[in-house]
Amino acid sequence: SIASADMDLNQLEAFLTAQTKKQGGITSDQAAVIAKFWKNHRIKIHESLIDQSRWDNVLKNMNWRVDLKSQSRHIDQINTPVAIVEMELGKNGQ
């Protein structure tokens, strides 16, 4: 829960306090150890979760534009917006 929410120190303190008060929860010593570990390794854990959640390909570049039809056989098709999106994908780390 701590890692998936990427809790800041205030959120962490509130979460651990709630866990110590819950029946069958953790002790205050365990909460202190978890808090110290999270403070020391938060960035590494967050980066690891991001790396695990990525697919093989990553977005390298994206271009987009909106076109409007200025001529058509049917009048109701004029000025109809069309979005065109171009995405360039690449392998992670390349």
pLDDT for res 10: 93
Segments making up each domain of the chain, as ranges: 3-53, 58-90
pLDDT for res 44: 93
Averaged pLDDT in 10-residue chunks for the chain of 94 residues: 90 94 91 95 90 77 89 77 90 67
CB within 8 A of 3, min separation 6: which ones? 45, 46, 49
pLDDT for res 41: 95
pLDDT for res 16: 94
Instruction: Answer whether 81's CB lies under 8 Å from 67's CB.
Output: yes
